[in-house]
Structure 1
Amino acid sequence: MGIEDLMQAVQSLNTDDAFHARLDVMQWRTLGSYLAAYQMRAGDLLIKQGDADRTAYFLALGTLQVYRNTGSGATSRIALLRPGSLAGETGLFSDQPHSANVEAMTATTVWAMHLPRFEELAARAPAIAIEFLRASGAVMAARLRANMNHQIAAA
């Protein structure tokens, strides 16, 4: 699976929290050169609640579930992520611990943007890095709104 496949997955995702970066094919290829691809099996943990991982992940293939450990062994599912989704994006903005687990439900391919590689991208291709941050920030804002709306509805 190449960067063009990831680009297609990201561009075809139609959710409120989709990563809508205004990048052309050449810019995606540049961005792709800063990403690392990883294969996961069903049940593998991508992000562990409480860890401070400075990495954002694009889901290229498969399904991820996002859930929280709520205490006494109970869990609460937050979301299912489909190809094209961004996960762990808060890690690029903060070194605070992750608030949820992200686990592969199927065989999965993710592309990781590690903080040191993002810093290289920012130095070498600042326009692409700024667009990456803008689109990641929009994902976080959409998720924050959805969480707030869910809490208001539950009250």
Structure 2
Amino acid sequence: MTLDTEVMSLRQVPLFREVETSRLKLLAFTSERVHFEAGQAFFARGEAADAAYLILEGSAAVSIDGPFGPVRLALLGPNALVGEMGILADQPRSATVTADMATTALRIDRDVFIELLAQFPQISIAVMRELALRLEQTNQRLAERVGNA
């Protein structure tokens, strides 16, 4: 895939719509397009948070180990960002992310991701909004479980 094609793919992602083309070229150049087969892990809980992944095609399941086996927390599709929480918290991965079907993603190295957030406040705000939304959804699910107990 050419650099210009990668830039066009990135331009489709709401997170990157306002980013200058030259910056998107740099992001495309410094990132790696990776492919996962169904069932293949992007990363596992407890691993070092060395990269974030932007899902371009396909979908990925976010899960944790529960007392009776894996518990699916979310199913994410194109334009979803995964792996950013560990980078931002400077902590190991808090969940396992596995391709739900054949999936293509852009692997963004930790240092590149941090630099991107530092240079583009609008991207930082979009990431914070997404994290706040996830927290709210988690709170709602927890409240439902407590209410059903």
Q: CA deviation at 1:121?
A: 4.8
**Pairs within 5 Å for 1:101-116:** 101-116=96-111
Q: Do the aligned residues in 2 keep the contact of 1:21 with 1:135 (CA within 8 Å)? A: no
Q: Do the aligned residues in 2 keep the contact of 1:42 with 1:106 (CA within 8 Å)? A: yes
Equivalent residue for 2:119?
A: 127
Show CA shifts across 1:33-67 (max 9, x none).
Answer: 33221111111100201112231110001110111
**What is the count of residue pairs matched by the alignment?**
141
Corresponding residue SS for 1:58? strand
Corresponding residue SS for 1:75? strand
Return the alpha-carbon distance in structure 1 between the equivalents of residues 115 and 39 of structure 2. Answer: 32
Q: Do the aligned residues in 1 keep the contact of 2:49 with 2:92 (CA within 8 Å)? A: yes
Return the alpha-carbon distance in structure 2 between the equivalents of residues 22 and 121 of structure 1. Answer: 14
Corresponding residue SS for 1:33? helix
Corresponding residue SS for 1:98? coil
Equivalent residue for 2:79?
A: 84
Residues 120 and 145 (structure 1 numbering): CA distance in 2 closer, same or farther, change over 3 Å?
A: closer
Return the alpha-carbon distance in structure 2 between the equivalents of residues 6 and 43 of structure 1. Answer: 25
1:4 aligns with 2:8: yes
Q: Percent identity?
A: 28
Return the alpha-carbon distance in structure 2 between the equivalents of residues 132 and 49 of structure 1. Answer: 25
TM-score (norm 1): 0.78
Return the alpha-carbon distance in structure 2 between the equivalents of residues 98 and 7 of structure 1. Answer: 28
Return structure 1 stretches of 4+ with deviation > 6 angstroms: none
Q: CA deviation at 1:75?
A: 1.1
Return the alpha-carbon distance in structure 2 between the equivalents of residues 7 and 139 of structure 1. Answer: 18
Residues 45 and 52 (structure 1 numbering): CA distance in 2 closer, same or farther, change over 3 Å?
A: same
Q: CA deviation at 1:97?
A: 2.0
Higher relative contact order by CA 8 Å / sep ≥ 6: 1 or 2?
1
Equivalent residue for 1:151?
A: 142
Q: Paired residue for 2:61, among 61, 65, 86?
A: 65
Show CA shifts across 1:102-151 (max 9, x none).
Answer: 001111111122122235557xxx533x3332222221111011101111
Structure 1 unaligned regions, length at least 5: 12-19
Residues 84 and 54 (structure 1 numbering): CA distance in 2 closer, same or farther, change over 3 Å?
A: same
How large is the Cα RMSD of the aligned pairs? 2.2
- Structure in which a larger fraction of residues adopt helix: 2
